Amino acid sequence: MFVAATLAILAALTLAVTRAIVGPTVFDRVLAGNSVGTLAILLLAVVGFLTGRPEWLDIALTYGLLNIIGTLAVLKFFRYGDLAYDQEDDA
């Protein structure tokens, strides 16, 4: 049954990557990238149980923390064109 969950997550990953490739705006791609990160966390957890090594959950936790930072950084970059944007320069 872990195999069924793994296959479902892999199918969802394929669809999300498809949206990231064809997405008309950059926000579609960012949304698809965030979904890919979420699905990767779930895949790590389920495959960890599938192979009987739940230590993979540590990697899943790290990936979850990286996912939000990466998404917010990409959004900030495309909004301001710079990650070191300073509010007071904007006038």
Partner 1 sequence: MDPIIDLLSWMLILAGSFFVIVGALGLIRMPDVYTRMHAGSIIDTAGAGFLVLGLMLQAGLSLITLKLLFILAIFFFTSPVVSHALAQAALAAGVEPELREDRRADGMGKTSDGDKSNNKSKDPTR
Diameter over CA atoms, the chain: 58
| Cβ nearer to partner 1, comparing 14 with 89 | 14
- Give 74: exposed, middle or buried? Use CB within 10 Å, 0-12, 13-18, 19+: middle
Residue 32 φ/ψ, nearest 5 degrees = -65, -35
Tokens 């779930």 — which residue? Answer: 42
Site for partner 1 in 27-46 (CB under 8 A): 27-28, 30-32, 34-35, 38-39, 41-42, 45-46
Q: Is residue 47 near partner 1 by the rule CB under 8 A? A: no
Instruction: Name, in order, each residue with C-beta under 8 angstroms of 13's C-beta and a sequence gap of 6 or more.
Output: 36, 39, 40, 43
Sole binder of partner 1 in the list 21, 40, 65, 88 (CB under 8 A): 65
Give the binding site for partner 1 (CB under 8 A).
1-2, 4-5, 8-9, 11-13, 15-16, 18-19, 25, 27-28, 30-32, 34-35, 38-39, 41-42, 45-46, 49, 54, 57-58, 60-61, 64-65, 67-68, 71-72, 75, 78-79
